[in-house]
Amino acid sequence: MITFILIIIFIVVLLMAIGSSGRESLDEKQNKINTQLNDLNIDAESYFLENDRMKIGIDVKQRKVFEVGLEYGTFQPKIQLIDLNNVIDVEIIEDNQVINKVSNSSMIGRAVVGGVLTGGVGAIIGGHTAKSKTTKVVKEISLRFRMNDMDNPYYDVIVFNDSKGLDRGSDLFKSKSKEILDLFGRIELVLGQGETYSNIK
């Protein structure tokens, strides 16, 4: 009996030690990411939103969208920078449906597709409304960047995901929708500025 108790205690201590070293490892990875961002002179604090362990935002002065953090599941460090000078257009995709789009043609930002993100039918986000099938719950919202790059023409950034889905009427969904629209709006403004920086806040 005493031997059994000692074995249990040993296993518990071992698991605690492994968990502790894992947390330190995650902290070290996060510190490495922060150091790399500083080296790249990326302002990752001025405007961003968070999804799981990822931080997604925009550095207005450098005209770069960033996706940084620890990848879900693997917890591997990830730093992805998207140069808006090389972006053709950006779409908001809600459960595989495009609900909003802004184009960078001739460096003029313009919304070409309206949609419903925050609720009621007829809510307009963008240039004009578009027919779209709305559902009561939303499981995933992403930003799709179409790039001027033959090797990597598209890049998707998941800005919200919930396997069970969130009700459109819930406060959490409305809050997330506002964050996403704020980020998308800043991207649209930067695209509209061409390659010059203006006082976008």
pTM tops 0.75: no
Between 194 and 22, name the one with better pLDDT: 194
Handedness of CA 90, 92, 97, 99 (dihedral sign): negative
pLDDT bracket for residue 133 (50, 70, 90):
low
pLDDT(117) > 60: no
pLDDT(49) > 70: yes
Interval 43-61 mean pLDDT: 84
